[in-house]
Homo-oligomer: A and B are copies of this chain.
Amino acid sequence: VPTLSGNINLTIPPDSQSGKRLRVKDKGLASKTGIGDLYAVLKIVIPDKTDEESRQLWKTLSEKTKFNPRREWRTA
């Protein structure tokens, strides 16, 4: 990840969601009171092209996974 003071490696916790903020201590703006922290915001991107093989893998994943992607919805 590029920061104000060069690139760093950032370890993403497993099962992180898009939009999650990760605090990176002392990589933010410097001021009189010290150096601030950098907040890295995760953004999940997916491949813009898929071949037949990976499509099949995505399908297997969706079938194996017990997960309701619409859990946050208030449905009538």
A residues with CB within 8 A of B? 2, 7, 14-15, 17-18, 43-50, 53-55, 57-58, 60-61, 64-65, 67, 69, 72-73, 75-76
Chain B residues in 8 Å Cβ range of A18? 18, 43-46
Check if A46 sits within 8 Å of B47, measured CB to CB: no
- Give the CA-CA distance A2 to B76 in the complex, in Å: 8
Report the copy number of this chain in the oligomer. 2
Query: Pick the contact of A45 from B47, B55, B69, B76 — CB < 8 Å?
Result: B69
- Give the CA-CA distance A65 to B76 in the complex, in Å: 39
A7, A67, A73, A76: which has the most chain B beta carbons within 10 Å?
A67
The 3 tightest CB contacts between A and B, nearest first, are: A47-B67, A57-B61, A45-B69
